[in-house]
A and B are shown apart, each in its own frame.
Chain A
Amino acid sequence: MPTATETIKDLALHEYKYGFVTDIESDVAPKGLNEDIIRFISAKKNEPEFLLEWRLKSFRHWLTMVEPTWPHVKYPSIDYQDIIYYSAPKAKSGKPKSLDEVDPELLATYEKLGIPLREREMLAGVAVDAVFDSVSVATTFKKKLSELGIIFCSFSEAVEHHPDLVRKYLGSVVPYTDNFFAALNSAVFSDGSFVYVPKGVRCPMELSTYFRINAANTGQFERTLIVADDDAYVSYLEGCTAPMRDENQLHAAVVELIAHDHAQIKYSTVQNWYPGDKEGKGGIYNFVTKRGKCLGVNSKISWTQVETGSAITWKYPSCILLGDNSVGEFYSVAMTNHYQQADTGTKMMHVGKNTKSTIVSKGISAGRSNNTYRGLVKIGKAAENARNYTQCDSMLIGEKCGAHTFPYIDVKNNTAQIEHEASTSKIGEDQIFYCRQRGISTEDAVSMIVNGFCKEVFRELPMEFAVEAQKLLGISLEGSVG
C-alpha cells in the first residue's frame, strides 16, 4: 500500500498531457531581433503607420534596458537573438473566413486540448478566440456578439477595423517603458485578443482565448486589450498550452484591462504551459505583464489565475484603483512541481477614495520546486478609507521544495485599513489517516485536501473552468501524495 508521501510523489511525477506537436507548415521570420524584423512583422500584418512607429519606439527603448534580476527565480540568461519572433501557420489562401476554412489539423490540435471550437460554439455558449503560435486562428460566436455591439476579435483584426480604439487604449495601462519584457512585447507582439464592450452592455457569455506555442524556437508575444465602457460587464478566460521540447521557450505577453465608470471586468487564467520534464529540462518561461486600470468610479477588476504550468512563471496581475469606490481583486492558485519556479502575486495601487482590494493567494509546491508570492499593496496619499485584505497560504508537499512570501505594504494615508496574513502548512498524516479510515484512497484524499485548500479561489472561476481547473490540479498532483 502506498504511503502518503509516495502517493504525493506519484502525483508529482505525472506526464504533461498537452505535449504533442502539430505538424503544420508555418510562415516564420528568421531568428533574431532587429528593426528589420519588426518591420517584417508589421508588414506581414498590414499595420498602420502609427503602430509600426510605436513598435520601433518600444524596440529602441528596450535596447536601453537591462533584464531585471530581482525575482526569486533562477534561469540561464536568454539569448534574444536566438528566438524566432514571428511564426504563423501557413494559410492555404489568405485568412480563413469561417471555421470551415480553418486548417483541419489546427482544429484537431484544439480538439486534443479539449477545446472543440465547434462544440463550444453550440453547446457551451463560450466564445473562443484561439491563438496558435503567434496568429489568431479562429474566433467563434463573432456574429452574436457583434449584434450587441461587442467587439471580440484578434488583435490584428482590431488594428485593421478599429484602429482608433486600439490607438486610444494601447499602452495606456502598460506603457512600453514599463519594464524589460513589456518593452520587448510592445516591439514584437504578433497577435492576441481584443475586446470592447460598449456602454451599458452586459456580455452574455464568457469570452475565452486559448494560446498555444507550437513551432520550435519561437517566442510567443501576444497582447490582450480589454476595454469595458460605462456600466459594461465582461468575463474573460485564457488558457495556454505548449508542446514538449528540450529547449526553453519564452512567452512574454502583455494584458491590459480598462474599466470605465461602473464597469466590471473579470479575467480568469488557466495557465498550463509545458513545465519542463522531471529533471527540469525545457519548459516555458512565462514572463507576463498583466495590469488593469479601474479608471471610472465604482469600477471593478477581478483577476483569477490557476497557474500549473511553465518552467518559470513570473507575473503579477495588478490593479490600479483610480476611480473612487473602485474594487480590485486577485485570486490565485499557483502549483509548482519538479523544478518549476513561480514568482507571482499582485500589485494593488490605491489612488481613489474608498477603494477596496482583496488578495487571496494559494501556493502549492511539490518536488524540488520553488513557489513565491510577491505582492505590493500601496495606499496613496489621497486614497481615503482604503481597505485591503490579503491572505497568502502555502502548502509544501515533500521536503525539497520551497515556499516564500514577500509582501510589501506601503501606506501613506492613515485612514487605510490593511490586513495581511500568511501561513505555511503541509498535509498532515492525521488528515490523510482520517480520510483513509473512511475508505478514501490516499490519492483521492490528497486531491480532496488540496482542492479544499484552493476552494476560495476556484469559487471565483467561471463554472466550466472551475471543473477544468480542479482536474488540472488533480493531474498536476498525480503521484505526489501519499
Chain B
Amino acid sequence: MIALDKNRAKTERYVADYEKIEGEIAAHEPIWLHQIRKEAISRFQELGFPTIKEEEWRHTNVTPIVKREFTLAGAAAIDSLPDTIHHVTFPDSDFTQLVFVNGFFSPRLSHLNSLQDGIRVESLAQAIACDANALEPYLSRLGSYEEHPFAALNTALFRDGAYVHIKKGVVARTPIHLLFISTSPKQAVVSYPRTLVVAGAESQATIIESYAGVEGEVYFTNAVTEIAVGENAVIEHYKLQRESAQAFHIANMLFYLDRSSNFASHSISLGGSLVRNNVNAALNDEGIECTLNGLVMAAGKQHIDNHTYIDHARPHCASHELYKNIVDDHATGVFKGKILVRRDSQKTDAKQTNMTLLLSDEASIDSMPQLEIYADDVKCTHGATTGRLDENALFYLRTRGIGKPAAKNLLTYAFANEIINRIRIDAVREQLEQILRERLPFEQND
C-alpha cells in the first residue's frame, strides 16, 4: 500500500501538468478529444508508473524517470538546428522534412516545398484546429492508452506533433522525414511528440521518424506514433532513435493494417540512457504482409528495451521479424517479441528471430521470444541466439593480417549490416553505414 501511495505521489506532478493545460484544451479542441484526454489522464492515475513487479516491465526499471522532476516543455523558438544535431538531417536529399522542437512544430526549420497533390503533411495542432473531423476516426482510436501508462500520459498531454494524410491511390515520390529534436539547456524537460499517419487505400509512402537531442542534455521524450494503413497500401516506416546519451526515451508505436496491405517498420536504436519501444502491429484483415526489423547498439550504461507485439487477428497473413542487439560495455538489452495467432487465423505464416551479440563481460541481455497460438493450420517459428563473436571467424581474419580490434569491428559491422542492408532508402542506409563505420572502425590505416 505504501508503495502504491508513493507511486501516486509521483503521478501527481503529471496530473498537475494536465490541469495546467486543460483550460486551453477545453477552449481550442473539440469535445471528443477533450473527452479522450480526460479518460487518458485518469487512466494514467489508475495505472501509475510501472514497476519491475509487472511482467511487461520486469527487466526495465523506470525509477530514474519517475524520481526526476521534468518540466513540461513549451514551444521553443530556435532559428537553426543546433550544430550537434545537424547530422540527423538528410541535406542532399529532397525529402519533405518536418522539424519539431520539444514536440512543437517549427515551420522555420521545416521544408514542405515538394509536397504533391493528395498528400497532407502538417502540424498536428494545426490539423486539430482546422480539420478535427478528419482526425476523429483515427486519433487515439488506435492508441492503447488503456494498458500503457506512458501512452496514456502522452494522450493526455501532447500539444503538437505530425499529421500525415495520403489520399487513396497516391504514391509519394519522396520520403517524409519527421524530425523530433529535444533541447533543454536550462532544466530537464519532458516532451510528448505525437504522430498520426493515415494512408488511404492503394497509397504508397515512406515515413521516417528521427529522434535526436543535444548531446549531454537530460530530457525525456515520451512519444506515440499511430499509423493506419489502408487496403492494398504499401507503407515503409523508419524510426531512427539518436537521442542524447543522457536522455530517456519511451515510445509506443501502433500500426493498424488493413486488407492486403504491405507494411514494413525498421527501428534503429542508437542513443538514450533508458529506452523502451513498444511496437504493436495489428493485422486486422486478410492477406497482410508485415515486416518488423530492429537494430540496437547499446554501449556505456545504456539500457535499451524493445517490446514487439504482432496480432494475427485474421487468416492468410504473414509477418517477418528480425531484431538484432549489439550490447557492449555495461549496457543491457531487452527484447520481448510476442506473436499472437487468434482462433481461426489459419494459414498464418509468422517468423521471428532475435539475435544478440554480447561484446563485453559486463553486457547482458534478456530475451523473451513468445508465441501464443490458437489456430492449427499455421506456420510459426521463433528463434533466439546469444553469444559473442565467433572465435574461428576472428582467427581467420587475423591470419589475413587484420588486427584484432579491426577484425572484431568488421565482424560486428557485418552482424549489424543484415538490418542496415534491408533499408531501401539510399540516403538513410548510407548515413547509418557511416555511423556504424565511425563506431566500428575497421579500415587499416597503415
Q: Does A172 contact B (CB under 8 A)?
A: no
A411 contacts across to B, CB distance below 8 A: 356, 358, 364-367, 386
Interface mask (A406-421 → B, CB under 8 Å = 1, otherwise 0) = 1111111111111111
| Partner-binding segment picked from A11-19, A26-34, A390-398 | A390-398
Q: How far is the CA of A409 from the CA of B336 in the complex (A)?
A: 10
Q: Does B369 contact A (CB under 8 A)?
A: yes
Q: With both chains docked as a complex, state the minimum distance between the C-beta of A417 and any C-beta of chain B, in angstroms.
A: 5
Q: Are B387 and A417 in contact, CB atoms less than 8 angstroms apart? A: yes
B381 contacts across to A, CB distance below 8 A: 421-424
Least CB separation from B344: chain A residue: A399
Q: Does B359 contact A (CB under 8 A)?
A: yes
Q: With both chains docked as a complex, state the minimum distance between the C-beta of A185 and any C-beta of chain B, in angstroms.
A: 25
Least CB separation from A5: chain B residue: B376
Chain B: interface size category: 35 or more
Query: Do A409 and B367 contact each other (CB < 8 Å), given the known contacts A422-B382, A423-B381?
Result: yes
The number of residues on chain A lying at the interface, defined by a beta carbon within 8 Å of a beta carbon of chain B, is 33
Q: With both chains docked as a complex, state the minimum distance between the C-beta of A346 and any C-beta of chain B, in angstroms.
A: 15
Q: How far is the CA of A92 from the CA of B59 in the complex (A)?
A: 58
B366 contacts across to A, CB distance below 8 A: 408-411
Q: Does B383 contact A (CB under 8 A)?
A: yes
Q: Does B61 contact A (CB under 8 A)?
A: no
Q: Which of B366, B368, B386, B387 has the most chain A CB within a 10 Å cutoff?
A: B386
Q: Does B374 contact A (CB under 8 A)?
A: yes
Q: How far is the CA of A426 from the CA of B380 in the complex (A)?
A: 11
Q: Are A414 and B358 in contact, CB atoms less than 8 angstroms apart? A: yes
A41 contacts across to B, CB distance below 8 A: none
Q: Does B94 contact A (CB under 8 A)?
A: no
Q: Are B387 and A394 in contact, CB atoms less than 8 angstroms apart? A: no
Least CB separation from A418: chain B residue: B386
A406 contacts across to B, CB distance below 8 A: 368, 370
Q: Are A70 and B384 in contact, CB atoms less than 8 angstroms apart? A: no
Question: Which residues of B from 376 to 415 have beta carbons under 8 Å from A?
Answer: 376-388
Q: Are B368 and A396 in contact, CB atoms less than 8 angstroms apart? A: no
Q: Are B369 and A422 in contact, CB atoms less than 8 angstroms apart? A: yes
Query: Do A418 and B373 contact each other (CB < 8 Å), given the known contacts A399-B343, A399-B346?
Result: no
Q: How far is the CA of A11 from the CA of B341 in the complex (A)?
A: 25
Q: How far is the CA of A418 from the CA of B367 in the complex (A)?
A: 11
Q: Does A207 contact B (CB under 8 A)?
A: no
Q: Are A412 and B55 in contact, CB atoms less than 8 angstroms apart? A: no
Q: Are B383 and A396 in contact, CB atoms less than 8 angstroms apart? A: no
Q: Are B384 and A402 in contact, CB atoms less than 8 angstroms apart? A: no
Q: Are B384 and A410 in contact, CB atoms less than 8 angstroms apart? A: no
Q: Does B36 contact A (CB under 8 A)?
A: no
Q: Are A397 and B365 in contact, CB atoms less than 8 angstroms apart? A: no
Q: How far is the CA of A413 from the CA of B327 in the complex (A)?
A: 11
Q: With both chains docked as a complex, state the minimum distance between the C-beta of B424 and any C-beta of chain A, in angstroms.
A: 29
Q: How far is the CA of A406 from the CA of B382 in the complex (A)?
A: 11
Q: Does B375 contact A (CB under 8 A)?
A: yes
Q: Are B385 and A424 in contact, CB atoms less than 8 angstroms apart? A: no
Least CB separation from B357: chain A residue: A414
Q: How far is the CA of A411 from the CA of B363 in the complex (A)?
A: 9
Least CB separation from A394: chain B residue: B373
Q: How far is the CA of A408 from the CA of B386 in the complex (A)?
A: 12
Q: With both chains docked as a complex, state the minimum distance between the C-beta of B24 and any C-beta of chain A, in angstroms.
A: 42
Q: Does B361 contact A (CB under 8 A)?
A: yes
Q: With both chains docked as a complex, state the minimum distance between the C-beta of A226 and any C-beta of chain B, in angstroms.
A: 32
Q: How far is the CA of A382 from the CA of B369 in the complex (A)?
A: 25
Q: Does B371 contact A (CB under 8 A)?
A: yes
Query: Do A420 and B385 contact each other (CB < 8 Å), given the known contacts A411-B358, A411-B364?
Result: yes
Least CB separation from A422: chain B residue: B382
Q: Does A403 contact B (CB under 8 A)?
A: yes
Q: Are B373 and A422 in contact, CB atoms less than 8 angstroms apart? A: no
Q: Does B69 contact A (CB under 8 A)?
A: no
Interface positions of B (Cβ within 8 A of A): 55, 343-344, 346, 356, 358-361, 363-388
Interface positions of A (Cβ within 8 A of B): 70, 394, 396-426
- A-B complex: 4 closest residue pairs judged by Cβ atoms: A414-B358, A396-B376, A418-B386, A420-B384
- In the complex, 17 of the A-B residue pairs with CB atoms within 8 angstroms, ordered by the A residue number, are A396-B373, A401-B376, A404-B370, A404-B373, A405-B382, A406-B370, A408-B367, A409-B365, A411-B356, A411-B365, A412-B364, A413-B358, A414-B360, A419-B385, A420-B384, A421-B382, A424-B379
